[in-house]
Amino acid sequence: MIKVVLLGTGNVATHLFEAFRDSENIKVIQVYNHSSDSLSAFEGKANTTTSLSSLVDADLYLLALKDDVIADIASKLSGKKALIAHTSGSVALNALQPCSRRGVFYPLQTFSKSRELSQTDIPFCLEAAEKEDLEILKRLAKEISGKAFEVSSEQRKKLHLAAVFVCNFVNHLYAIGEDICNTNDLPFEILQPLIQETAAKVSHASPFLMQTGPAKRNDTSTIEAHLSLIASEENKEIYKLLTKAIQSQHGKEL
């Protein structure tokens, strides 16, 4: 049994809390947040506190907190003998430096409070100062996921960057598609199969090899026609830049 104190009540904390509840070998014994409002969702399910000095003893203090408060909260936990780990993609392991046992437990996934996720396919990126602590994090990940990857702080920063491209930026391109549908009296639903298939395609093949479209074909008449259809200057810039990028990657091959 791994006894966990969870610090934070945001999307990541909420999803991890639910996942841990389904595991017989993990018990979240307390949830901390500095404000009591956001703890209400956890009441009745776990002991809650707004005071760091009231934290109970545990095997792991898991900091599912905003990046900019992690180091500060960690310094306040430096007296603990248990493992202290954070869940951030972009904060280095060293940010937990005052703590004697330090780890990272970063779930590489996009979380929304409103959406249930199957935890079984979330890759957890793990790092720890000590081998035994890495083993604890691996057990934790395997209890709720099955996919654990050992990832250094340097690699994790790059992964977080990659996640911005394949998740946040991709979503903005979906939003442009939605906007084009809305302004032309078309249901966004009509783009759905294309969106899902484009994602599904790369689950078994390299996206570089899967590239299609007018930029890849160097089909200048379609590219010109498209540019003339785009009303927004910003979207025009995005179209031009991504077209140029695809062409430079694929050497303007035909």
**Of residues 34 and 160, the one with the C-beta less far from a copy of itself:** 160
Residue 251 structure tokens: 């050497």
Nearer to a copy of itself by Cβ, of 27 and 160: the residue is 160
Listed residue (13, 137, 222) closest to 243, CA to CA? 222
Q: Is there binding between residue 16 and a copy of itself (CB under 8 A)?
A: no
Q: Which stretch binds a copy of itself (CB under 8 A): 21-29, 40-48, 52-60, 115-123?
A: 115-123
How many residues are present in the chain? 254
Rounded to a whole number of angstroms, the minimum distance from the CB of residue 198 to a copy of itself is: 5
165 neighbors 154 (Cβ within 8 angstroms): no
Residue 90, interface with a copy of itself (CB under 8 A)? yes
Cα–Cα dist 127/107, whole Å: 12
Q: Which is nearer to a copy of itself, 34 or 216 (CB)?
A: 216
Angstrom CA distances, 186 to 189, 198, 231, stand at 8, 20, 17
Binding status of residue 210 toward a copy of itself by CB under 8 A: yes
User: Which residues from 150-189 bind a copy of itself, rule CB under 8 A?
Assistant: 151, 154-155, 157-181, 183-189
Among 213, 220, 224, 252, binds a copy of itself (CB under 8 A): 213
- Concatenated DSSP letters of 182-229: HHTT--GGGGHHHHHHHHHHTTSS-HHHH--SHHHHT-HHHHHHHHHH
Q: Is 39 in the site for a copy of itself (CB under 8 A)?
A: no
Least distance from a copy of itself to the Cβ atom of residue 143, Å = 17
Q: Does 73 bind a copy of itself (CB under 8 A)?
A: no
Task: Measure Cα distances from 163 to 25, 153, 159, 218 in Å.
Answer: 30, 15, 6, 28
- 125 is a site residue for a copy of itself (CB under 8 A): yes
- Interface size with a copy of itself, residues (CB under 8 A): 95
